[in-house]
Amino acid sequence: ANFDNVVVTEIPTTPSPILLSDSFNDGDFVGWTVLDQGTNQGPSAWSVVDGEVHQASNIYGGSSGHHRDGTLLYWDAAAALSWQDYTLETMIRSTDDDGIGVVFYYTDENNYYKVDLDQQRSFSALTQVKDGVETTLATASGPGYSTGADTQLSVTVSGSAITVLRDGADVFGGAVTGGSLTAGTVALYSWGNQGANFDNVVVTEIPTTPSPI
């Protein structure tokens, strides 16, 4: 029998393109740029320790609930500023109990989304900063993480819908809409946190569904 044509049926299973994958096992964070936004107890102290990105400074700004400007480590490739419709995954571990999380759709320090998890103040929040104006899109009560534990954080942006999973559980009870940013790169975030650790950052493009013929 001739099976030469069988390959054609496998075309729709094209894997999703990986936009970024960094395990930090090379001992550095080349390609990432530090942005300190907080003005208290700075500057930040980012380094790579044992194959993880570590932030050891207590840098913070704003109040305990609003405008929590800390420090960001963002992926600074020019092409990343136009990324859209993707999933950002990373392992986080905090040995302190303050703010830790991720930033996405970042184009500059006045435009980005942020997932902020806090153990001490017992909340999780999704905020938008657009043209420097901060808006809270969603909040959830309860500890944002367990101190010292590895936590898998996943953020998916598809159109205007944002879904945040913590160890596979939906943090905000479903997709959150209401934001108006359209594209941007990713960042790691620390606020008043002297033991923020991140590992295995992966950004995967969401495949577009082919139009039916």
Q: Is the pLDDT of residue 9 over 90?
A: no
Facing residues of 57 across strands? Answer: none
What does the pLDDT read at residue 55? Answer: 98
CB 156 within 8 A of CB 136: no
Helix (H, G, I), strand (E, B) or coil at 90: strand
Residue 204: beta bridge partners?
Answer: 18, 87
Give per-residue burial for 103-138: e unless 16+ CB within 10 Å, then b.
Answer: bbbbbeeebbbbbbbbbebebbbbbbbbeeeeeebb
Strands 99-108 and 18-22: unpaired
Sort 200 into a burial class: Cβ within 10 Å, 0-12 / 13-18 / 19+.
middle
- Evaluate whether 24 touches 54 at the Cβ level (below 8 Å): no
Count Cα atoms within 13 angstroms, Cβ side, for 82. 2
Q: How far is CA 76 from CA 97, 127, 200, in A?
A: 28, 21, 17
pLDDT greater than 80 at residue 61: yes
Residue 159 C-alpha from the chain's centroid: 17
Q: What is the pLDDT of residue 37?
A: 97
pTM of the predicted model, to two decimals? 0.91
The answer to whether residues 160 and 149 touch, using CB atoms and an 8 Å cutoff, is no
The number of beta carbons lying within 10 Å of the beta carbon of residue 77 is 13
* 213: pLDDT strictly greater than 70: no
Q: What is the pLDDT of residue 96?
A: 97
- Residue 164 near residue 96 (C-beta atoms within 8 A): no
Task: Give me the pLDDT at residue 135, please.
Answer: 96
The yes-or-no verdict on residue 10 having pLDDT over 60 is no
Residues 65-69: what's their mean pLDDT?
83
- What local confidence, expressed as pLDDT, does residue 188 receive? 98
Judge residue 140's burial from the number of C-beta atoms within 10 Å of its C-beta, 0-12 exposed, 13-18 middle, 19 or more buried. Answer: middle
- Token reading at 32: 């990432």
